[in-house]
A and B are shown apart, each in its own frame.
Chain A
Amino acid sequence: MRKKLNKLFRSLLEDKQYLLLGQSIRDPFGGASKVTRGLSTKYDSQVIDCPISESAMIGISTGLSMQGFIPITEIMFADFLTLCVDQLFNIAVKLREIHGIDIKMTIRVMEGVKEYGPTHNQNMDWLRIPGITYFRNEQSAYTPKGINVVIENKDQYDSNNR
């Protein structure tokens, strides 16, 4: 799955509208899941490292989307989605639903148990914000339409399936 996602992002980044945001997603680190390895070397200006500010990362993605960009934002672990709830629920969704601003963005998160302790392991199926579409590793999550959250399972990164 890691290779497949990397290949998918390579093809998306050929379009200048797409941006990748996340923490340490640029080379040489290439992201906690290593999905984005090599991408900043080829698409320098489109791969943006962010400080440890999950809430701001969602707001910044929303702002980028207002100007026509399509951000794909990596929130490292699914547990951290709670840090993003206000910006998703009160800002991104409401700008879209109330003011009709065409917000298009996809948020990637990692979930699943892998001996990382209680704040890096959680399954976040209980968190469902109205106005957001949830996906599981599906390519359709990257179709530019509305606000998407795509949940990737840690165990599947090394598998060739999906």
Chain B
Amino acid sequence: MKVLKLAYLIRAFENEIQKQFKAGIIKGTVHLSIGQELVDVGIISAYKNPLVFGNHRSHGQYIAATKDIVGCYRQILSNMTQHLYYPDKFLATGIQGGLCAVAVGNALAFKLKGIKRKVLCFIGDGTLGQGLFWESLNFASINHLNITFVIIDNGYSMSKTQSEINIQKISELFNVYDGLSETECSVVHRKVSRLCGHSCNDTQMYRPKDEVLKNLLTDKKYAQEAEQIISKLIGR
């Protein structure tokens, strides 16, 4: 399956980036998407030529949207790990939720021009603390824009767990936006495991030891979960 192959490719790419960071070849910081690859690839592949806005750990989303692995590596070497850009296909920024409104602006432009093109705006569960996301979601909804906000929920905001920073369960927040829709504003919430630290500098001291260990061993279980997600998306 194409999706699975691309996801494995991204996993291999990210592992290599981690290795090169540890070896001192890549400097600064790097935010890896290890653990969320199948959701990234599955959702992006479900649409024809979507315009994608990445979240905080968006290497996988960039590669899924552009297939430009060399460009991704080149940009990471230039300290642009959170700021990947590919004209007319992909854009990310280091400000959490900072591109939500820009994504909505693009979706509005497509509507005004009569272009039927999906805009995908990825955010993490930690970004739900940003007001701009809610402003953007509201504007997109009242104007019936063809945009889908994808919440990649890895349960962590840097070192804080979800229950420490969110009063309400994410699954209860978006009942209005149930499921994927072709032409309307929608919200997709997918749980993933962050199988790495927040950044390559993160030693994950705040995480229970058995969770870190379990993460290293869950590839098989993860693949099963992911296959379910894919069949749900692609099987439509």
Interface residues of A (CB under 8 A from B): 19, 45, 48, 50-51, 53, 55-69, 86-87, 90-91, 94-95, 98-99
- Within the complex, the shortest CB–CB distance from B105 to chain A, in Å, comes to 2
Please give, as numbers and ranges, the residues of chain A lying within 8 Å of B103 by CB-CB distance.
Answer: 63
Given the known inter-chain contacts A45-B112, A56-B136, A87-B98, please indicate yes or no for A67 contacting B106, CB distance below 8 A: yes
- Within the complex, the shortest CB–CB distance from A49 to chain B, in Å, comes to 10
Q: Does B21 contact A (CB under 8 A)?
A: no
The answer for the CA separation of A74 and B103 in the assembled complex, in Å, is 20
Q: Check B138 against A63 for contact (C-beta < 8 Å).
A: no
Please give, as numbers and ranges, the residues of chain B lying within 8 Å of A95 by CB-CB distance.
Answer: 91, 102
Interface centre among A51, A64, A90, by most chain B C-beta atoms within 10 angstroms, is A64
In the complex, the chain A residue whose C-beta lies closest to that of B132 is A55
- Within the complex, the shortest CB–CB distance from B43 to chain A, in Å, comes to 20
Given contacts A59-B104, A91-B98, A91-B102, 18 further A-B contacts (CB under 8 A): A45-B112, A50-B139, A51-B139, A53-B135, A57-B101, A59-B101, A60-B102, A60-B104, A60-B139, A62-B102, A63-B105, A63-B109, A66-B102, A86-B98, A86-B132, A90-B98, A94-B93, A95-B102
Q: Does B118 contact A (CB under 8 A)?
A: no
- Within the complex, the shortest CB–CB distance from B117 to chain A, in Å, comes to 10
Q: Check B85 against A99 for contact (C-beta < 8 Å).
A: yes
The answer for the CA separation of A106 and B102 in the assembled complex, in Å, is 16
In the complex, the chain A residue whose C-beta lies closest to that of B104 is A60
Q: Check B83 against A62 for contact (C-beta < 8 Å).
A: no
Q: List the count of A-B residue pairs having beta carbons below 8 Å apart.
A: 91
- Within the complex, the shortest CB–CB distance from B52 to chain A, in Å, comes to 13
Q: Does B176 contact A (CB under 8 A)?
A: no
Please give, as numbers and ranges, the residues of chain A lying within 8 Å of B104 by CB-CB distance.
Answer: 56, 59-60, 63
- Within the complex, the shortest CB–CB distance from A43 to chain B, in Å, comes to 12
Please give, as numbers and ranges, the residues of chain B lying within 8 Å of A51 by CB-CB distance.
Answer: 135, 138-139, 142
Contacts A/B (CB < 8 Å), 15 sampled? A51-B138, A53-B135, A55-B131, A56-B100, A56-B104, A57-B101, A59-B98, A59-B100, A60-B136, A60-B139, A63-B104, A64-B108, A67-B105, A67-B113, A94-B93
The answer for the CA separation of A95 and B99 in the assembled complex, in Å, is 11
The answer for the CA separation of A24 and B171 in the assembled complex, in Å, is 34
Interface centre among A63, A64, A67, by most chain B C-beta atoms within 10 angstroms, is A63
Interface centre among A50, A57, A59, by most chain B C-beta atoms within 10 angstroms, is A59
Q: Check B93 against A91 for contact (C-beta < 8 Å).
A: yes
Q: Check A60 against B95 for contact (C-beta < 8 Å).
A: no
Q: Check B132 against A59 for contact (C-beta < 8 Å).
A: yes
- Within the complex, the shortest CB–CB distance from A51 to chain B, in Å, comes to 6
Please give, as numbers and ranges, the residues of chain B lying within 8 Å of A48 by CB-CB distance.
Answer: 108
In the complex, the chain A residue whose C-beta lies closest to that of B119 is A63
In the complex, the chain A residue whose C-beta lies closest to that of B112 is A45
Q: Check A64 against B101 for contact (C-beta < 8 Å).
A: no
Q: Does B110 contact A (CB under 8 A)?
A: yes
Please give, as numbers and ranges, the residues of chain B lying within 8 Å of A64 by CB-CB distance.
Answer: 105-106, 108-109
The answer for the CA separation of A99 and B84 in the assembled complex, in Å, is 9
Given the known inter-chain contacts A51-B138, A67-B109, A98-B83, please indicate yes or no for A60 contacting B98, CB distance below 8 A: no
The 0/1 profile, CB within 8 Å of A marked 1, for residues 142-175 of chain B is 1000000000000000000000000000000000
